[in-house]
Amino acid sequence: MNINNALNELLVVLFKDINEIEEKAIRTGQYKNMTANDMHVIEAIGLNGAKNMSAVAKALNVTTGTLTIAINSLVKKNYVERVRSEEDRRVVLVSLTPKGRKAFHHHKKFHDDMIDQIVKQLDEPEKQVLEKTLTTLAEFFKSKK
Amino acid sequence: MNINNALNELLVVLFKDINEIEEKAIRTGQYKNMTANDMHVIEAIGLNGAKNMSAVAKALNVTTGTLTIAINSLVKKNYVERVRSEEDRRVVLVSLTPKGRKAFHHHKKFHDDMIDQIVKQLDEPEKQVLEKTLTTLAEFFKSKK
DNA sequence: TGGAAATAGTTTGAAAGTCGAATTATTTTT
DNA sequence: AAAAATAATTCGACTTTCAAACTATTTCCA
């Protein structure tokens, strides 16, 4: 078994596991009814005030039709507020409710904790190599887009 | 900028893009009609002979009902062959056709290219460190599941 | 300035993927 | 031999997604 194969298998396993763990972590306690998809939309809306549908859809790389349906569900679950703009009445502005903001922080905390735990496992040279690897990986994907 | 933030941002970017890019890389030329899901099933079946439905479903973390539908489609597209076991006639064995094996290799090439890009950037000691690091992380996440 | 074009979002219809429960066929246990 | 267990498929329901049609509104320009 050469090192390339070993690296490939390790990366595949890591991505699979991290996704799984992250999704499971979302659906705890008061956020039981939230899907991973819901969380992505909540992250894309963010904490900095209202955003229009097109902007959020673009950030998520989905059509506005798709986003409309996701927002319907989030409004029903009371994570998101939807308001028609007064300045341009074609525009719909979405923002997080208090409950939505709490969910945002809940997820961010999970994320921060996860990174902390990863970094805690590594000594300084390992951190350097890992950072270099992830940077290369990010560039590889960027070049493929 | 501390390393935690750098790692966090890299992970976020990677997770956002990886599925989309991998799917795009799959759907080229003769594999235009293949979905990312098809590819996952093909990977799970693999090149080492026939597997039964339950085993593949378990590897993919889906119900056998879900897998039945996926296999129906792959058989229709001629990537997968489905045979009822002679030893135990309840069991259905699935394996890759020549076309399925070609698709498997096509996808593997994408992965190999990715790993080559990473390894190219590293000298020998760094490679050793990376392998050890990823092993540590894989074990860490496995323990979290 | 009034009609055409552009823009923002929603609705609709179709396809894919998923699950849990019911069902069928077969094997194992008692 | 009958009951229980196992393997896979089918069924019905639901979610996510897109593209295209549609509605409402604003901007452009002749």
pLDDT band at A116 (very low <50, low <70, confident <90, very high): confident
| Residue A69 CB lies within 7 Å of the nucleic strand D | yes
Out of A38-52, B4-18, B101-115, give the one with best mean pLDDT: A38-52
Instruction: Tell me the mean pLDDT in the region B57-62.
Output: 96
The pLDDT of residue B1 is 55
pLDDT digits (tens, 9 = 90+) for B93-103: 999 999 999 99
* Lookup: nucleotide whose C1' is closest to B53 CA: D8
What does A77-89 look like in DSSP terms, one character per residue? TTSEEEEE-SSST
Q: What pLDDT is attached to residue A145? A: 66
pLDDT at B145: 64
Cβ contacts of residue A14 below 8 Å, gap of 6+? B134, B137, B138, B141
Percentage of chain B modeled with pLDDT above 70: 97
Q: Are B8 and A131 in contact (CB under 8 A)?
A: no
Q: How far is CA A63 from the centre of its chain?
A: 17
Q: What rounded mean pLDDT belongs to chain A? A: 89
What pLDDT score was predicted for residue B17? 72
What is each CA distance from B120 to A130, A137, B66, B127, in whole angstroms? Answer: 14, 12, 40, 10
User: Percent of chain A at pLDDT above 90?
Assistant: 49
Could you tell me which of A126, A110, A3 has the C-alpha nearest to residue B136?
A126
Tell me the nearest-neighbour CA distance from A86 into chain B, angstroms. 33
> What per-residue confidence (pLDDT) applies to B85?
98
Tokens 């300045």, residue located: A87
Burial label for B133, CB within 10 Å (0-12, 13-18, 19+), is buried
Q: What percent of chain A has pLDDT over 70?
A: 99
CATH number of B3-144: 1.10.10.10
pLDDT of res. A55: 98
Chain B residue with minimum CA distance to A40: B16
Q: Are the beta carbons of B133 and A130 separated by less than 8 Å? A: yes
pLDDT of residue A7: 83
A23 touches chain B (CB under 8 A): no
pLDDT at residue B86, as a whole number? 97
**What per-residue confidence (pLDDT) applies to A21?**
80
Query: Percent helix, strand and coil across chain B, each rounded to 5?
Result: 70, 10, 20
What sign results for the dihedral spanned by CA atoms B27, B31, B35, B37?
A: negative
Kindly report which listed range (A32-36, B110-114, B141-145) carries the lowest average pLDDT score: B141-145
The first and second tokens of residue B96, run together, are: 């890759």
Using the CB atom, is residue B54 less than 7 Å from strand C? no
Question: What does the pLDDT read at residue B143?
Answer: 78
Q: Which residue has the higher pLDDT, A19 or A76?
A: A76
d(CA B26, CA B33): 10
Give B96's contacts (C-beta < 8 A, 6+ positions apart). Answer: B42, B45, B46, B47, B79, B80, B81, B103, B104
Rounded to an integer, the average pLDDT of B90-112 is 94
Task: Report which listed range, A22-26, A84-88, B131-135, is most confident.
Answer: A84-88
